[in-house]
Every structure is written in structure tokens, then in C-alpha cells.
Amino acid sequence: MSGLPYLDGEALRELVPMARAVQVLEDALRGGLDPEETPRRPVVEVPAGQLLLMPAAWGRHVGIKIAAVAPANPSRGLPRIQGTYLLMDGETLAPLATLDGVALTSLRTPAVSALAVRHLAGPGAATMAVFGTGPQAWGHVEAFRAVRPVDRVIVIAGDRGRAEAFAGRCADEGLRADTVAGLGQADLIACCTSARVPLFDGRLVRDDATVVAIGSHEPDAREIDDDLVARATVFVEARGAALAEAGDLIIPLRNGTITDGHLAGNLRELVTGAVPPGPGPRVFKSVGMAWEDLVVAAAAYEAWT
């Protein structure tokens, strides 16, 4: 194992730029990958947070990510998500490479969101609101720009200083950015936080807006409220994963606000056109799945070799 090539974050982003990550995910779904067949990940509670074991198989490769969620890490100046990825040959199961699990998560998660936005949002969507100021928030700015003509970012965060710093980073990239505009101006909304209760009143979201919620993977945590979910067309990565882990949907189901049938479709059905976007706001709820890591990791390894 010690002789395996290691692809760090810098190498990963060079080998698979954001636009490429979006495309390889789409290609896999169009090529027959079924998210519903991805094994459920075990989640183990430990004193510092959670450990997640995420295996998947697709095409010529098998892989597994050992991920960790450490809620106290941001206060230490460390990423909340930790982990490593092992890529293996699909036929022999021989190890091929290891990858930086943090960088892989930071790439594939916004790429998945951008893939959904590519098929849900209007072609002229240019104003984006982002909740959060961490790596995922920045990744979603980059990812949404890869699929839509985003030229303005509204930054919303509990810490004023961090919000202003994030807005400054956006401005440095040539974007118009502010921290005071309302959600009613947003074509796209990205929720990238560790919130356990809704971040905003869903009635503020326009009927033609697209909302992506990626911050939680627990049945009792959510970023969006019942009102938004009830009036939205909702897509998920996979129904099985969402109904087991997505509090954004499980809580409205528990409250009787929606039923199982409210979910319009999964990401494969959206990408292939089997289920078209419907009326009202469009919501994509992601919990993060192992097939996404595998597809991007395999693309990186193939580009490296």
C-alpha cells in the first residue's frame, strides 16, 4: 500500500477541473449507473463526531472512502470533513491509488449540485445566494459558474466578518458580491451549512428559483423548511438514501406536510429526461453518496495514467 500513487488536492483539481467533474458524473448516469443500487453507508458515532464508510463499484473500478465528520474542527482551523479514498481495480480488487478524501469531497459535492442545476435552472440564472462561507460554499460558487452565467453572489452567514471576507473573495474573481440583498433576488440558492433547523422562510423563494441543500445527512437536521419543500418540485440523488438520511425531507414527511410520492425523481431520472422538472421552485437535496466519489476518483486516476 505504501507504494501506491497518492493524488492530493492540487493534483485532483488539475486532473479533474470542476466542469470535467460535472461532466463525468453526467456521463456515468447516462451510461447506466443507478444511484439506487449504491450500498448504504454505515455511520458510526465516535466522541469527536462521526465515521462514515462509503464503498461503491462502477465500470472498471471499485473504491471506498473512509470519511469523518468532526463538528469542532472549524474552530481549530481544520476542515469539518476528513477522510481518505482508496481506488481499486474492479476485476482484481488490486489497489490502484489513494486520494485526498477531503479534496475529493470538496470537488464531487458541488459538482453533483451543479449537475442538478444544469438540468433544473433556467439558462439565464445569473444571481446566486449562498448560505455558508466554508469550502463547500466556495465550491458551489465555482460549480454553479461552470453551468450557468453566474455574475452575482449574495453571501449569507451568521458571522458578519466571514461573510464580508467571502464576498471579497467573490469580488476578486470578478463577481458582484454583497451580504445584504434578499433571497427574492436569487435565481439559485445553495445551502452549505451545518444548520439543524431551516435557514430561511421558504416563502421568500421565487417560484422560478432553484435551491440546492447539501449541508446535512441526518434525519433530524435540515436547512430548508416545510413550506419550501411542499411547493417545490423535489429531486434527490437516490430515493432510498434521501428517505433514510435527508432530514429536509424526512421531517416534512413526519409532519404530514408531504408524502413519499412528493419526490419527483432521482438524479439519474432528471439527467436522462425520464422525469422532467416540474412547476414551482425546484429543490435538489443531496446527502452525498459513494458512487459520486468513485466516478470522480476514477476520472482523476485515468487522467493521471
* Domain-located, residue 70: yes
Mean pLDDT of 74-84: 89
Torsion sign (Cα): 71, 76, 77, 79: negative
Mean pLDDT of 5-22: 97
Asked whether 280 and 233 are in contact (CB, 8 A), the reply is: yes
Asked whether 210 and 143 are in contact (CB, 8 A), the reply is: no
> Are residues 61 and 26 part of one domain?
yes
Q: Looking at residue 13, what DSSP letter applies?
A: H
Count structural domains, the chain: 2
> Are residues 153 and 261 part of one domain?
yes
Range of the domain at 50: 6-105+291-304
> Are residues 130 and 83 part of one domain?
no
Mean pLDDT of 146-175: 96
> Are residues 186 and 265 part of one domain?
yes
Could you tell me the pTM of the whole model? 0.95
* Domain-located, residue 278: yes
> Are residues 153 and 188 part of one domain?
yes
| pLDDT of amino acid 109 | 97
Sheet holding 282-285, edge to edge: 176-178, 152-156, 127-131, 188-191, 210-213, 282-285, 233-236, 263-266
> Are residues 262 and 202 part of one domain?
yes
Give me the CATH number covering residue 237: 3.40.50.720
pLDDT band at 212 (very low <50, low <70, confident <90, very high): very high
pLDDT at residue 182 tops 90: no
> Are residues 153 and 64 part of one domain?
no
pLDDT band at 40 (very low <50, low <70, confident <90, very high): confident
| pLDDT of amino acid 2 | 56
> Are residues 136 and 63 part of one domain?
no
Amino acid at residue number 83: G
> Are residues 201 and 126 part of one domain?
yes
> Are residues 52 and 78 part of one domain?
yes
* Domain-located, residue 40: yes
Amino acid at residue number 104: L
Count CB-CB contacts under 10 A for residue 195: 18
More confident residue, 260 or 247: 247
pLDDT tens digit sequence for 21-38: 999 999 999 999 999 999
| pLDDT of amino acid 3 | 82
> Are residues 159 and 96 part of one domain?
no
Give me the CATH number covering residue 296: 3.30.1780.10
